[in-house]
Amino acid sequence: MSATVQTEMMLTESAIQEVRKFMEAESAGAEAGLRIRVVPGGCSGFQYHMQIEDAPRPGDDILDQAGLRLFVDKFSRQYLEGVQVDYVNSVMGSGFTFNNPNATGSCGCGSSFSV
């Protein structure tokens, strides 16, 4: 089911811990994982999208990050190469952040990017 080309991306320890909390809350099974994908949209052209899924889809890259399964589809693979996903909790708010070395720009609110 896994593609021959593997996406190189990384989740920080804080991001992994936060995703595990979500998965436990949803009582995710052994085949479940986090789907990270890029979709067209936002003011800069592309947006990140994350969701817990029960199993990978045909053609997905399946990555292991400290025992956490990540699912990446063929379209998203090209935009997620080298990306670091972090979870930040500060007085300004909390949430997942994406450090994408391939992005050439982003919107003011940080929710979309361009390449």
Per-residue confidence (pLDDT) for residue 13, from 0 to 100: 96
Of 27-31, 72-76, 83-87, 102-106, least confident by mean pLDDT is: 102-106
The pTM is what? 0.82
- Residue 65 in any domain: the answer is yes
Question: Of 84 and 1, which is predicted with more confidence?
Answer: 84
Q: Residues 90-114: what's their mean pLDDT?
A: 74
Local structure of 98: helix, strand or coil: strand
- Residue 72 in any domain: the answer is yes
Q: What percent of the chain has pLDDT over 90?
A: 54
Residue 54 sits at φ, ψ, to 5 deg, of -70, -30
Q: Per the structure, how many domains does the chain have?
A: 1
Closest C-alpha among 85, 83, 31, 89 to residue 57: 31
- Residue 77 in any domain: the answer is yes
- Residue 74 in any domain: the answer is yes
Report the run of H or E that residue 16 belongs to, with start and end.
helix 13-25
Question: Of 15 and 115, which is predicted with more confidence?
Answer: 15
Owning domain of residue 70: 10-114
- Residue 4 in any domain: the answer is no
Whether the per-residue pLDDT at 5 is higher than 60: the answer is no
Work out the mean pLDDT of the chain and round it to a whole number.
Answer: 85
Of 12-21, 61-70, 96-105, least confident by mean pLDDT is: 96-105
CATH number, domain with residue 53: 2.60.300.12
Question: Of 113 and 103, which is predicted with more confidence?
Answer: 103
- Residue 86 in any domain: the answer is yes
- Residue 67 in any domain: the answer is yes
Whether the per-residue pLDDT at 3 is higher than 50: the answer is no
